[in-house]
Amino acid sequence: MTERRRTRGEHQKALAQKNKKSAPPKSSKKKWFKRITLTLVAIVAACFIGGAGLFAYYASTAPELDENLLKDPVSSEFYDKNGELFATIGAENRKYVKYEDIPEDMVNAILATEDVRFFEHGGMDFYRLGGAILANFRDGFGAQGASTLTQQVVKNSFLQNEKKLKRKAQEAWLAFQLERKYSKEEIFEMYFNKMLMSGRVYGFGTAAQYFYGKDLKDLTLDEEALLAGLVQRPNAYNPLKNPELAAKRRNTVLGLMYQHGKITKAEMEEAKKVDVQAGLADDATRQKFTGSKYDAFLDVVINELEDNGDGNAMAEGIKVYTTLDPKAQQAVEKIMNDDSNFPTEKIQSGVAVIDTKTGQIQAIGGGRDYGADRGWNYAYDLKQQPGSTMKPLLDYGPAIENLKWSTGQTLVDEPIKYTNSEQTITNWDGKYMGAITARKALYASRNVPAVKALKEVGPDKAKEFIGRLGIEAENVYESDAIGGGDITMSPMQMAASYAAFGNNGVYTDPHSITKIVYRDGKTTKDYTPESNVAMSDYTAYMVTDMLRDVVGNKPDASGTAANVSGLDIAGKTGTTNYSKADFDKYNLPDTSVPDSWFAGYTTNYSIAIWSGYEKHFDPITTWDERRLPQHLFKKIMKEISADVETPNFKKPSSVVEATIEVGSKPLKLASDYTPKEKRQTELFVRGTEPNEVSNKYEVPELTTPYNVSASLSLEGQSIDISWEHDAMLNPETNEPLPTTFEVTAKREGGETVSLGKTESKGLTVSNTLEDGNYTISVVAVADGTRSKPGTTSIQVTGMTDENKEPDTPEQPGVEEPTSPDQEGDNGDNGDKGNQNGNHNGNENGNNGNHNGDGNSTDGNNNNNGNGNTGNAGNNGNNSNTGNAGNNGNNNGNNNGGQPPTPPTEPAVPDDGGGNKTE
C-alpha cells in the first residue's frame, strides 16, 4: 500500500516545526540589561534612602530659628596681636527699612540678580539647583551655588560660610522652616536689611545713604542696580575703590533686569551710560556711617576676608584675630596726621609696616588723615610702577642667585640703547660713571648697569625670582629693570618682598589675619600662609649688604636721609618718570616725576612708603617731595624700634670677603701696588672668590739715594756719610713706607765692606779702612724692594806721627801783611791767608777740599782757620749752594791780612726769576 502524500499545508507545518526545533536560544543581552537597570534603580533608591537619612540627621542637628538673629546683623569682633579687642562691626549705624518702603525697581534689581523665582519657590529653587549640580560635576564641588534669598538669610544668621554638605543640608532644612513661618515679604525684608554692602555697612538702606547720601526712594535706576550688584563681592565692587569693576557689575545687573522683563532695553542702555562714580556722596556724608579705631588697617583685614571667601562672614558674628601691632599703628597714624611732616598740603603717602621674619602686617598708613570713608587705601589699593626699588628684586638679586655675581662685579655705566630700540638709557643725573662695581651701581642707583644686569640673567630667570617674592608679572621687559615697565606694586607687597632679603631669603605673603573663629566658638579657620625659600641665604645677605650702602655715608649714596643712627638698615630709593609725550601734553616742569618710593628694613621691620599726588599728572617737582618717603621712613622706623632689640644682619657661612681691584674683569685680587681708590673689599659666594692677583699696577720703582757725601773726621778716626732720598708711598694709606739704608765701601780693586744699616739719612762709622780711594754706596730698601745705589768717593789717608798736632802749639810765624793794592788770584791770596793764618791752615784747607768734592750741600763743615774758609770758597762751586762758594772766595781773598770772621748763614738761592727757593 502506497504512503499517502502530505498536503501542502501539512508540509509547511512540518517545515515550520523543524525550523522551530533548530532555532538557537534567546540572547542573554536583554537579561543583562534588565539586571543592570534593576541594580541601578536599587543603588539610586539606596542612595536616596541613605541621602534622606543623612539629610534627616543633619537637619536634626540644625539650630533653631531665632527671629532676633534673622532680623539683625550679628556683630563681629576684631583683636590685635596681643589678643586685645580693638573693633566691633555689626548692627551699629544701620538704617532698617520695611518692605513696603522698598522701591519696586530696587526689589526687581535684587530678584533679577540673586533669586528671580523667589516668590515662586518654597525656599529651594530646584531649577537653579539642577544647573548648579551640573556645574559642580563639571568643575568640582562648590564651583557654583544655588542659594535663594531665603537660604542666604539662613546662612548669614545661623551657619558658617563654608561649602560643606552638612551646612547645605541644614541650610535647605532651615529655609523650608523659614518659608513656613514667615511670609515672602518678611523674608525679603530680612535679606534687605541684613546683607553686608561694604567693609562695615549693612543693609541696602544704609548703603544708599553711605554711597549716595540719599533715601531709597530717591535712587536712580543705575544706582539701584549698583547696590544690587554689591552683595556678591562688597569690597571688590565698591565704586569708590574699583570703579571699572563696579561699572561692569552694575551693567551685568541691568542686563539681567532686561533679560527678565523688569526694564526695557532703552532703560537699560540709558542707565549703562551713566558714569559709575557720578552722584557718589562726599567724604563728610560717608564719615557718619563709618569710622573706628585703626580704619586703614581694618580695611586691609576686611579685604583679606573677602579674598579668602569670607567676605560675608562678618554678618555671622565671627571673631577675627589680626596681626595688628597697636604701638606701630599709633606711631604711623601720628606721623601721617602731622602736616609738618609733609612738604605740601596735598601730597599723599601710603605706608606698610611688616614683620621681617613672619610677613605679618604690623601697621598700615592708608593716607593722610585717613578715614574709612575715604575708600582708597594708598598702602593696599595703590598699584604703581616701583622705579628703582625694583633693581634689587629684578636685577641684582637674580644675578647673584643665578650667576653667583660678587658685589664687586664690574659693570660699565655707559650710554646704551634698549634692545631693538633707538631709545638711549640715561641716568638721573645725565652722566655715566664708567667701570664700577655692582655695589656702587646699586647704591648710586645707576640705570644702565641695572639694565645690563637684567640682560645678563635673562627675563625668564628674573621673572621666576620675583614670582617667589609674591610679585606677579606676565612678561618682563628691559624697562622693568629700572621700574618703568608693566610691573606695578603696592607698598604692602613691596614691604613683604624686601622682607625676604632681611629674613635669609625666606618669603611669606603679607597677611593681616592669623585666624577666624566662627559663632559656635569651636570652628576655626587658619589664615597664616606658609613661608617659602625664595632665594639662597647668600643672595639675601649680599643684596642686604649692598643696600646698607644706600643709606650709608658714601658720596653717591641715594638714601642717606633714611638712615637711623644705631640701627642696621638696608633700603632702596625709587622714582618713576613721565614720558616725553606726557611732558609735552601736560606742559610739565623738567624736574617732574609722578611717584617717589623708599623701601627699607631691619631684622625686625620691613617698611615701604610711596608718595605722590592723587592725580597722576599733578607732579612731584622738588627734592623735598622726592625725599618725603625717606623722611617718613626714618621717623616711623626710629619710633617703632625704640626700646626694641634689633640684631644686626648676620653674614652666613656661604659668603666670603676678598679685596679686589675695582674694574678688573674677570675680578682679580688687588696687588700690594693697586692704588687705594681701586682697592675694595667685596662679598663673594663661597668658592667663587678670585685667586689671581692683578698685575695691572707694576711694582713702583724705589728712588736712588742722592746727594751722597762722605768725609773723614779731623782726626781721621771716623767717616761721616749723609744723603737724601724720596720715600715710596703705601698704596693703601698714601703714607711713606718704612725705609732702611744699607751703606757699603769699596776700595779700588778691593772687596766691598759693609759699613752698616740705618733708617736715618746719615751714618757715622769708625774709620777702620786701609788707606786708599773708596766708593761709598747707599742702597734704599722698602717693602722688599731695593733701589739702585747712590755713590760718592772718598780718599782715606792714615795720619802719621809728624802730622799730629803737638800738645803745646807752636807760636805762629809773623809775616808782613800784604799791601791792599797787591791784588792777586783769589786762590793765591787764600793760600797765603792759610799760610799766614796758622800752622795747620793748609792741612785744614785740604780737608775742606775733600769735603767740597763730595758735593756736600754745606761745602764742608770745617771751621778751623781762615784758610779753611777760603778753601770752602773754592770747593763751594762744586756744592749745591753757589752763592756760598762766592762768599768763600771773598773770604779767602781778604783773610790773608785780617783776623778771621765768623761764617754767615748761606743766602737762599734765587730760582732765576727773582723768586727765592729752598
Q: Is 645 in the active site?
A: no
Q: Pseudo-torsion of CA 399, 572, 473, 595, nearest 10°?
A: -150
Q: Whole-angstrom Cα distance, residue 192 to residue 95?
A: 11
Q: Which amino acid is at 222?
A: D
SS3 79: strand
- Identify the bridge partners of residue 495 per DSSP, sorted by sequence position: none
C-alpha cell of 363? 601697621
Distance CA 517, CA 657 (A): 51
The CA distance from 23 to 26, in Å, is 9
CA dihedral 170, 172, 176, 179 (to 10 degrees): 110
Contacts for 856 with CB less than 8 Å, ≥ 6 apart: 709, 711, 722, 879
d(CA 609, CA 469): 18
DSSP 395: I
DSSP characters for 318-387?
Answer: -EEEE---HHHHHHHHHHHT-GGGSSSSS-EEEEEEEETTT-BEEEEE-STT--TTS---TTTT--B--G
CA distances from 735 to 206, 662, 676, 732, 738 (A): 80, 21, 11, 8, 9
Distances from the Cα of 750 to the Cα of 764, 769, 771, 798, angstroms? 22, 11, 12, 18
Amino acid at the residue 738: P
Catalytic residue among 388, 611, 641, 711: 388
Q: List CB contacts of 908: < 8 A, sequence separation 6 or more.
A: 916, 917, 918
The dihedrals phi and psi of 791, each to the nearest 5 degrees, come to -130, 160
C-alpha pair distances (Å), 734 with each of 41, 520, 678, 731, 850: 100, 77, 13, 5, 40
Contact (Cβ atoms closer than 8 angstroms) between residue 503 and residue 513: no
Q: Which of 76, 114, 479, 611 is catalytic?
A: 114
Q: Which residue has the cell 743766602?
A: 907
HSE at residue 83, side-chain half, CA atoms within 13 A, is: 0
* Ramachandran class of 718: left when φ > 0, alpha when ψ lies in -120 to 50, beta otherwise: beta
- Percent helix, strand, coil in the chain (nearest 5)? 40, 15, 45
DSSP 8-state symbol, 77:
E
Contact status, residue 562 vs residue 592, Cβ threshold 8 Å: no
Q: Distances in Å between the alpha carbon of 797 and those of 194, 745, 800, 844, 850? A: 125, 15, 9, 14, 11
**Does the annotation mark 388 as catalytic?**
yes
Question: HSE-up of 709 (CA within 13 Å, CB side)?
Answer: 23
φ and ψ of 22, to 5 deg: -90, -5
Task: Give the list of residues 6+ apart from residue 760 with CB closer than 8 angstroms, or none.
Answer: 741
**If residue 35 lies in a helix (H) or strand (E), which one and from where to where?**
helix 29-60
Distance CA 850, CA 389 (A): 77
Q: Looking up cell 642717606, which residue turns up?
A: 560
Phi first, then psi: give them for residue 265, nearest 5 degrees: -65, -40
Catalytically active residues are: 114, 388
